């Protein structure tokens, strides 16, 4: 992940499942060993470290552990990625 990379003890990122210039969604493990989804606004890498942050350090926002969250977030990420590809394709034809 570019810009300010979060390094919290509460979440060990396994993989980035979605990332654009401003936003990222990750899959990993919380401090209790539970597999979780997390997300954050990335900021600009200079003075703005994105959100959330704690004591000036970038952090991941952990989504609830409920099994329904992970598949629903993954479905949304797939729809977002497909829409972005379609829009990029349309833009390339101008």
Model confidence over 4-59: pLDDT tens digits? Answer: 566 566 888 899 999 988 899 999 999 899 888 999 998 876 667 888 888 878 88
**How would DSSP label each residue in 20-46?**
-SSEEEEEEEETTS-EEEEEEE---SS
Give this prediction's pTM: 0.76
Residue with tokens 């552990």: 65
Residue 8: the pLDDT is: 63
Task: Give the pLDDT band (50/70/90) at residue 2.
Answer: very low
């Amino acid at each position: 992940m570019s810009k300010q990379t979060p390094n919290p003890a509460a979440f060990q990122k396994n993989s980035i499942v979605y990332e654009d210039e401003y936003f990222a969604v990750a899959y990993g493990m919380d401090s209790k060993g539970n597999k979780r989804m997390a997300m954050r606004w990335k900021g600009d890498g200079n003075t703005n470290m994105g959100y959330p942050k704690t004591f000036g350090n970038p952090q991941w926002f952990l989504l609830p552990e409920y099994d329904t969250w992970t598949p629903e977030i993954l479905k949304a990420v797939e729809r977002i990625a497909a829409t972005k590809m379609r829009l990029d394709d349309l833009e390339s034809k101008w």
